[in-house]
Amino acid sequence: MNEKEIIEKIDLLFEKITDFNTFSINNIFFKEIKPDEKNKDEVKKFFDIVNETKLFGMNNDLFEKYNDNGWFSLTEKGKELKLSNFGYNKFTKKSKPKKFDLYKIIPIILTIVFGSLNIYQKYDYRELKNNYDSLKFERDSLKQKLTDLNNKTVEYKVYTLTDTLKTKKESE
């Protein structure tokens, strides 16, 4: 029997399992395959299928021996396969972690991009804050100069034309 046929039998077995803790592969296959007990070749083929299925299932950690009377129980991986309602091939493909998954790469790229923007924004904010502080200081100093100049203009007396035309004697 090749691996494809064994996997088909595993899928059939997991479809028919009702009890996770105790099940008989022989009983399940006997109900499904129904070999002719009078034909020795068919019985031999049946037991070959059962033995290869048992070996495949135990090697792939799907089930383990419950006792020496041909009863088995599902392992955690076997329970996951049974509950997933997938076939063995689809289950193994889904359970293997992918090296580079698009859903893992996109968040990494977004984190790098937004992290870089955040660092740039923080640097730019510091620079703008420094510029703002220097401009504020310059504005305050210019306001002070303007105030001083306004005070000086008030101090100077504005002479009218008549004041300037007075004779020297009048002004004294």
CB 91 within 8 A of CB 83: no
End-to-end CA distance of the chain: give it in Å, rounded.
137
pLDDT on residue 50: 84
| Domain identity same for 12 and 37 | yes
pLDDT on residue 66: 81
Domain holding 37, by residue range, is 3-95
Residue 83 tokens, joined: 């509950």
Contacts of 42 (CB under 8 A, 6+ apart): 35, 36
For 11-28, how does the pLDDT look when each residue is reduced to its tens digit (9 = 90+)?
888 888 888 788 888 888
For 111-168, how does the pLDDT look when each residue is reduced to its tens digit (9 = 90+)?
999 999 988 888 888 888 888 999 999 999 999 999 888 877 765 555 555 555 555 5
Backbone φ and ψ for 72, nearest 5 degrees, come out as: -130, 165
| Domain identity same for 19 and 72 | yes
CB 51 within 8 A of CB 43: no
pLDDT, greater one: 29 or 142:
142
Question: How many angstroms separate the CA atoms of 41 and 37, rounded?
Answer: 9
- Residue 82, pLDDT > 90, answer no
Structural domain ending residue among the three candidates 64, 95, 126: 95
| Domain identity same for 32 and 76 | yes
User: Is there a domain that residue 172 lies in?
Assistant: no
- Our count of domains for the chain comes to 2
Structural domain ending residue among the three candidates 62, 95, 128: 95
Banded model confidence at residue 98, pLDDT cuts 50, 70, 90: low
Question: How many angstroms separate the CA atoms of 20 and 125, rounded?
Answer: 63
User: Is there a domain that residue 169 lies in?
Assistant: no
